[in-house]
Amino acid sequence: MKPIWPQSLEGRVVAVVLIATFFALTVAMAALAIYDARAYRDAVTADLTTQAEILGRTNVPALTFDDVQAAQENIALMRVRPTMNSVALYKPDGRLFASYGRDTFGVMPSQTLVDSAGTRIDGQEIVLVQPIIESREKVGTIVLRASYEWQQRLASYFVILITVMVASLGIALLVTSFLQARITKPILSITGVARKVVDEGDFSLRVDRTGTREMDVLVDAFNRMLIEVGEQTEALAASNRFLESEMAVRRRAEEALRAADKNKDQFLATLAHELRNPLAPLLNGVAILRLPSRTEAESAKVVSMMERQVKQMVRLIDDLLDVSRIATNKLVLRMAPMDLRDAANAAVETLAPFIRDRRHTLHVDVPSTPVPIIADSTRLAQVFANLLHNAAKFTEPGKEIRLTVSSTPEGIRVVVKDNGIGFEPSMATKIFQLFEQADQSLERVQAGLGVGLTLARRLVELHGGTLEARSEGRGRGSEFVVALPATNPAVPQADTAPTGRGNQLLSRVLIVDDNVDFALSLSTLIRTYGSEVRVANDGMDGLAKAKEFLPQIAFLDIGMPKLNGYDLARRLRQLPGLENCVLVAVSGWGQAEDRRRAQEAGFDHHLVKPVERDQLAQLLGGPRSPA
């Protein structure tokens, strides 16, 4: 049966209607045919009976008075009835009295005539035998034979049936085609939307309600399903997007990490190189100083060379520590009113030997009047020094470097300009990145850690200013512009500024450090100020010496065997006579956390190794050492 049924819904609806119509019509026509066959038979019988009655009655006189001719004439009138095949009149005794039509009639026994009274169907004919009664007396019998065309009738019925069937099916097809939309349209619209949803994945589509109760239930259910699926798909897509962006972020972070890692590797290599560089001249210097044949002039020269190298290393490490502090937001500025020219001059002073070495000409252009500013003078000097050092380093020997300070109501500008190697304009911001160097090649003339500019910029920014680099291009010089606000916003004052105790020299000094060399060198240095110094090499020893010596100031190492610096400080603070002793923590650790712990333990100051002479002088109340 499958191939016969149409595939489409419309086709099936039409087919169902047509089949139903076909069967209904067939049954109706069959019923009608049966009814008509009966009606036809009844009508024919009634008609025949009437004819027989009339003919019989008409022929009563003829039969009565034996007038054959009259009878013949009477029944011959039946020729106007084509369906009447033949008529016969019999006398009561069975003798044929008169006849008409194609049939030939013979004598019939009167008993047969009596018995066969009534109608019977004889093939294509209907035969009526009826007695003729006049005044309760039988005067004869009439026999009628008429066409009984039930087959033709059936045939014409069949033709009508076919015609009606075709017409009805045609009309049904037409009407159904028009009306079936009422049933199929909602289903088709759902189907259409479903197909669209599948094809386009658009879950915002909705099916309209149709007004049919069952279909509306289906439509509502379908729409609800769409909403649900749409929401879930949307949620899935959102979570996918989220994951994708997360992935992208992670990938970027990973790349950044990898880049940073690479920079760090580069930096470590450079750092090792830079730290190692001064060691060779230092070792050479030590070897020269050991020579018995050395002259005093030679010694002085070597010592100054060694000092330079050491200072270079100290500078390097200081920069590193500063960068570390900035990176962890632990750098604290000691803001104070000052003259910017001092910072500039200090930087020039610091860098003068290096610039001389590089045979550059330095032009310094500062206003003749003070340039007041609230800032950390040491840090500003560091900034300018870094910029000058950078300029001197990345310019071929014998060129010019210009430092210009200008003050306007809007702010203060400090420009360091050179005609050195310069950089591509695209590198203008990159060169400020940590560990970044314009020239990454191995053959580069000047090495460096790549922290100087980063540090400078961060320091300027901490002052509320900006530091920008400009260059016309490679080999065309560069220009670094520091812009500082005329009056900085109030910046919190530094908490622990090292302050001396007036001008009075602290004469009793205790040094506790398990690094014998450092302790020794420090004690030698302090003795130059004229103070009396005791040295202990561990915490317990230090405690014992302190009880006995009662120092006015104590330099305590933090990491020591037996008793660490913090605990020693607490014990010392409890000793009688040491309440006013100045406790100075000296360690390799300069982080804020270290300072905080030191303060908690009772330290007055916190110095980071190596200790500068200036700091010592300040703490001891002695004169500042010459730069």
Partner 1 sequence: MIAWLLLANCGLANAATETDPSLERSVKAAFLYKFLNFASWPVASFAEPSSHFVIGVLGSDAIATELGKLAADRPASGRPVDVRIVKRGESLAGLHVLFVGRAETGYLSSLTEKAQQQSVLLVSESDRGLNLGSAINLVVVDGRIRFDVSLDAAERFGVRLSSRLLGVARSVRTGPE
Site for partner 1, rule CB under 8 A: 60-62, 64-67, 70, 91-93, 95, 134-135
Nearer to partner 1, 136 or 290 (CB): 136
- Interior angle at CA 284, CA 282 and CA 290, nearest 5: 105
| CA distance linking residue 194 with residue 206, whole number of Å | 9
Q: How far is the CB of 158 from partner 1 (least distance, A)?
A: 47
3-state secondary structure of 472: coil
Question: What is the enclosing helix (H) or strand (E) of 464?
Answer: none
Nearer to partner 1, 66 or 265 (CB): 66
3-state secondary structure of 236: helix
Nearer to partner 1, 95 or 224 (CB): 95
| CA distance linking residue 158 with residue 36, whole number of Å | 13
3-state secondary structure 498-530: CCCCCCCCCCEEEEECCCHHHHHHHHHHHHCCC
Residue 379: count other Cβ atoms within 10 Å of its Cβ: 23
Q: How far is the CB of 96 from partner 1 (least distance, A)?
A: 11
Q: How far is the CB of 133 from partner 1 (least distance, A)?
A: 12
Which residue reads 């390097």 in tokens?
A: 316
* CB-based burial label for 582 (10 Å; 0-12, 13-18, 19+): buried
| CA distance linking residue 109 with residue 526, whole number of Å | 180
Burial 170-179 (b: 16+ CB within 10 A, else e): eebeeebeee
Q: How far is the CB of 54 from partner 1 (least distance, A)?
A: 13
Nearer to partner 1, 96 or 592 (CB): 96
Tokens describing residue 488: 């900085």
Q: How far is the CB of 131 from partner 1 (least distance, A)?
A: 13
3-state secondary structure of 584: strand
Query: DSSP class of residue 331?
Result: -
Nearer to partner 1, 135 or 580 (CB): 135
Q: At residue 294, what are phi and psi to the nearest 5 degrees?
A: -70, 150
Q: How far is the CB of 92 from partner 1 (least distance, A)?
A: 5
Q: How far is the CB of 53 from partner 1 (least distance, A)?
A: 15
Is there a contact between 100 and 76 (Cβ–Cβ < 8 Å)? yes
Q: How far is the CB of 91 from partner 1 (least distance, A)?
A: 6
Nearer to partner 1, 93 or 365 (CB): 93
Nearer to partner 1, 63 or 451 (CB): 63
Peptide bond connecting 610 to the previous residue in cis, omega within 30 degrees of 0 = yes
Q: How far is the CB of 42 from partner 1 (least distance, A)?
A: 30
Nearer to partner 1, 58 or 521 (CB): 58
Nearer to partner 1, 90 or 603 (CB): 90
